Structure formats: structure tokens, C-alpha cells
Amino acid sequence: MRLDVSGPVRLPPACPGLRVGLYGGSFNPAHLGHRHVSRVALRRLRLDRVWWMVTPGNPLKDRADLASIEARVAEAQAIAAHPRIVVTAFEDRIGARYTRQSLRYLVARYPTVRFVWIMGADSLATFHRWAGFREIADAMPIAIIDRPGFTLTGPAARAARVLDRWRIAETDAGLLPDLDPPAWVFLHGPRSHLSSTALRARG
């Protein structure tokens, strides 16, 4: 699948050497758990920014109850409320369907930015099902944030076993953005029980 890059694509500003965490998801809806993960990543990975990448939709999930991307972006901006968290929906503009396409695009656009892919331990459990998960791991370092119920099962997941030789010690997390991929770290600590699925069911 070729990306549509024929017109201008608005991306958050970035400069050489900037340390940027990329946190992708449907954000349907965004909630304080997303903000918690981002603040942990900013602190523990010594990041300059975290970009929330609001996706058109997850290929592995039902899109029947997916709010419009405009509504999800607006809500994400209201929830983020942090000077170093930026919300972007560029994936919709370029027509990216898979994460690997988006990361490839960003690395080509910003070759001197130190990107880190951020995801929750619940996503690590199914990471092996993502299209080209090895390509994602080869594109940039990965930070896994602990989630309730996945403290043990996340690191034991299929993708984690495949990538085990490139896992770094948690005490070295601040070095992650400067490492060449593949490299990843699992960050323990306070966990958020909030989830978009639960919030939709409740509302």
C-alpha cells in the first residue's frame, strides 16, 4: 500500500536531536490513563515530547463504535493538557493503515529525531499479531509501560520472547532514545486501571 503524500502533511514541530515518544492508538475515548503513560515515559525515558498519534482505526479491532477522528482529536487535546504532549492525526492524512507505515514515514521525514515507540503491556501481549512487528522493532526503540494484569504475561508474550535479546535493564531506561534499534525496555511502576473499552461500556 502506497501512502498519500502528494499534499502538505501537518506534523508537530521537531528539531535535530529531539527525543520524542510516539504513543499511537484510537483514543476512543482519550482518558487520564493515556496521560499517565505519557508522563511516565517523559520522566523515565528523559523525553522532550510525546506525540499522541490518533489513528483512523485499529485493524485488529471493531470500528463500529469508533467516533470521528475530529472528535477523538479534540477530546485527546483536552485530556492531554500538558505542554510536552502533542496530539496529531497525520496518519489519517497520509492514508497509513499500519503502524509500520507511519513509523517508516516519520523516520524518513525526521532522520535526526530520536524516536521511541511507546505502548502498554497489554499491547505487547498481542504485538506478534501486528503487521510487520519486527519491522517496527527495527525502526526505533520501544518502551513498554506496565498495565494491570500484564506485569508477568506481557514480558512472557510471543513478541517479547522473540525480542528478548534486545531488552535493556529498566535502570538504563533513560538511555533508550539514544540506542540503535532493536532495543526495548519494560517499565514497572504505578499503573492506571482506566481503559477506553471500559469507558465506552460505562457511557
| pLDDT score for 168 | 98
| pLDDT score for 173 | 98
| pLDDT score for 199 | 42
pTM: 0.91
Q: Which fold has domain 19-201?
A: Rossmann fold (3.40.50)
Closest CA to 21 of 157, 140, 186: 140
Closest CA to 19 of 176, 184, 170, 189: 176
Low pLDDT (below 70) residues in the chain? 1-2, 4-7, 58-64, 191-203
| pLDDT score for 7 | 62
| pLDDT score for 197 | 53
Q: Are 168 and 182 contacting, i.e. CB atoms less than 8 angstroms apart? A: no
Report helix, strand or coil for 159. Answer: helix
| pLDDT score for 4 | 65
pLDDT in tens, 26-75: 999 999 999 999 999 999 999 999 999 999 876 666 666 899 999 999 99
Cell numbers given for 36:
499517565
| pLDDT score for 54 | 97
C-alpha to C-alpha distances, 98 to 12, 44, 142, 161, nearest whole angstrom: 20, 27, 16, 22
| pLDDT score for 200 | 35
Closest CA to 185 of 138, 145, 157: 145
Query: CA 193 to CA 85: how far, in whole Å?
Result: 21
Reduced 3-state DSSP string for 64-133: CCCCCHHHHHHHHHHHHCCCCEEEECHHHHHCCCCHHHHHHHHHHHCCCCEEEEEEEHHHHCCHHHCCCH
Per domain, the residue ranges of the chain are 19-201
